[in-house]
Amino acid sequence: MRAKIVAGNWKMHGTRAESATLIDAIIAGLRADSAQCVLCPPFVYLSDAWRLLRGGSVALGAQDVCAETHGAFTGEISAAMLKDVGCQYVLVGHSERRALYGEDSQLVARKFAAALSRGLTPILCVGEQLAEREAGRTQEVVASQLDAVTGLCGVPALDAAVIAYEPVWAIGTGRTATPGQAQDVHEFIRQRMAGQDAKIAADVRILYGGSVKAGNARELFAMPDVDGGLIGGASLKADEFLSIVAAASG
Ligand code: PGA
């Protein structure tokens, strides 16, 4: 039985005070049997977040990481730095990083490796654009994004990782994949990995992301290969996020 995870990706939202208020409200609203929660605030609020989360059940994550370990890389943040401020998780390959900042699958694979090398759990984001889905290329796109990582790091590396399937056309658009559409791709991802390592394929958590809300979380999480969610917009409202966590719990 795979334990579900619900991760909140705050993107570039909120102030320092709002972040603290949101964390306090989330902590206060969690139950003893709540699913594993991960919060990914902006870099500059990570230390503050860690002070509030430390010793509790909610894990801290970052939204990105540099592929390099250290050096003259102005503006970048290394995996060791993230670890140093309390992160356990880090998103790699979010579609906004791929589309807006030109990150290709090779760079994403190097970021994945950098995260693992410092004991961070990478949440590897994969997903197709609308035109790719309409052209019937969803599996091909997702497979090539996965293969870049397994090609560099090997399939066993996925044992220490989480995958997030996020169809780009569903991110921030209010247009969610149907539970059936999500399940089809999650099953494809798992089967593709099973071809190389059945145990890792059976154990790896595959989250769904893309306009998950309190109102659709339960039916998405009920799918056999959907192991929780990566939540953007709805993670900025404590009540909404807690309802999504509740849908993944118990
Ligand atoms: P959304 O974002 O929930 O606002 O669609 C999801 C994501 O980008 O991870």
Each residue's pLDDT expressed in tens, for the chain with a length of 250 residues: 799 999 999 999 999 999 999 999 999 999 999 999 999 999 999 999 999 999 999 999 999 999 999 999 999 999 999 999 999 999 999 999 999 999 999 999 999 999 999 999 999 999 999 999 999 999 999 999 999 999 999 999 999 999 999 999 999 888 889 999 999 999 999 999 999 999 999 999 999 999 999 999 999 999 999 999 999 999 999 999 999 999 999 7
Expressed in angstroms and rounded, the spacing between residue 17 Cα and the centre of ligand 1 is 22
Q: Which atom of ligand 1 is nearest the CA belonging to 233?
A: 4
Determine if ligand 1 sits within 6 Å of the CB of residue 229: no
Nearest-angstrom CA–CA distance, 202 and 146: 16
Dist. CA 27 → ligand 1 center (Å): 21
SS3 123: strand
**Annotation says 186 is catalytic:** no
| Annotated catalytic residue 68 | no
CB 130 within 8 A of CB 169: yes
Chain Cα centroid distance, residue 38: 9
Task: Report CA 134 to chain centroid distance, whole Å.
Answer: 24
* Catalytic residue from among 96, 103, 132, 166: 166
- Ligand 1 atom nearest to 230, measured from its CA: 9
